[in-house]
């Protein structure tokens, strides 16, 4: 607030160096505010969950894309969506996760290539992990992009709180967004993972276990 006051009242008085310091201070304030907001969101996930609802994931995603319409158009992003399943989820948390993942794909796009994001889904058998062998089937939702990607060795680290692979000078961010997505997946007894190739793009996979496959069907 004080920084804004100085900018409004004294910006014309300051020399170039003074204005540069003000701009850096303003940017630091904005990063701190974003960090506080993201940490607040992460800390409240357990307490802000609405009731579990048998939800059409297509409609949840449609709401998210509608709210992101301005940034999607600004970045010339092309988003295609396959038919997604109906699942028992916390709708508000799922929309928050979709928002973070799509924003992430748009943010880490190439400067000279329009972002292309493809969202698909399929039902798969367990992957053989001992902790998942009691699950009959699970749905996987994939978010593919054509962005800058990252080295696969960092695929687990990116979901760690405050872990960032790029500096603020390259891409703005707090290092909390993917931790929020991981927390939301876990709240649904699921998990999230990523596969990436540098300069070719990334695929985020969200896996939702299904206790009764007959009640969790792709819409006809």
Residue ranges per structural domain of the chain: 2-43, 51-215
Position 8 confidence tier, pLDDT thresholds 50, 70, 90: confident
Highest mean pLDDT among 5-19, 60-74, 134-148, 173-187: 60-74
Specify whether the backbone of 175 is left (phi greater than 0), alpha (psi in -120 to 50) or beta.
Answer: left
Cα separation, 133 vs 176, whole angstroms: 31
Q: What percent of the chain lies above the pLDDT cut of 70? A: 75
Q: Where are the beta strands (DSSP E) in 24-161?
A: 53-56, 78-81, 86-89, 116-124, 137-145
CATH 3.30.565.10 fits 51-215, yes or no: yes
- Is there a contact between 170 and 83 (Cβ–Cβ < 8 Å)? no
Q: Residue 45 to residues 60, 162, 207, 211: CA-CA distances in angstroms?
A: 18, 17, 19, 23
Find the range with the poorest average confidence among 105-109, 150-154, 161-165: 161-165
Nearest to 121 by CA among 72, 77, 84: 84
**pLDDT score for 72:** 93
Dihedral (C-alpha) 142, 143, 146, 152: value to the nearest 10 degrees?
-70
Position 193 confidence tier, pLDDT thresholds 50, 70, 90: very high
Cα separation, 151 vs 123, whole angstroms: 28
pLDDT digits (tens, 9 = 90+) for 64-84: 999 889 999 999 999 999 999
Residue 172 has pLDDT above 70, yes or no: no
- Is there a contact between 91 and 84 (Cβ–Cβ < 8 Å)? no
Q: What angle (nearest 5°) sits at the alpha carbon of residue 211, between those of residues 210 and 213?
A: 65
Count Cβ atoms below 10 Å from residue 17 Cβ, excluding itself: 8
DSSP 84: P
**pLDDT score for 220:** 44
Helix/strand/coil for 212: coil
């Amino acid at each position: 607030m004080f920084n804004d006051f100085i900018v409004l009242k004294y910006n014309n008085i300051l020399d170039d160096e003074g204005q540069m310091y003000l701009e850096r201070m303003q940017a630091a304030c904005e990063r701190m505010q974003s960090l506080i907001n993201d940490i607040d969101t992460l800390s409240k996930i357990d307490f802000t969950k609405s009731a579990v609802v048998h939800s059409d994931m297509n409609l949840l995603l449609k709401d998210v894309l509608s709210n992101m319409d301005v940034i999607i158009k600004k970045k010339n992003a092309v988003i295609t969506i396959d038919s997604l399943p109906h699942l028992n989820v916390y709708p508000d948390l799922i929309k928050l996760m979709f928002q973070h993942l799509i924003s992430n794909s748009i943010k880490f796009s190439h400067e000279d290539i329009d972002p292309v994001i493809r969202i698909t889904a399929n039902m798969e058998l367990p992957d053989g992990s001992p902790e998942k062998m009691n699950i009959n089937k699970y749905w996987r939702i994939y978010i593919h992009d054509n962005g800058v990607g990252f080295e696969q060795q960092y695929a687990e680290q990116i979901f760690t709180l405050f872990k960032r692979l790029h500096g603020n000078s390259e891409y703005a961010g707090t290092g909390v967004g993917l931790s929020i997505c991981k927390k939301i997946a876990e709240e649904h007894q699921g998990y999230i993972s990523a596969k990436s190739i540098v300069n070719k793009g990334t695929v985020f996979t969200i896996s939702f276990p299904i206790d009764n496959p007959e009640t969790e069907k792709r819409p006809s």
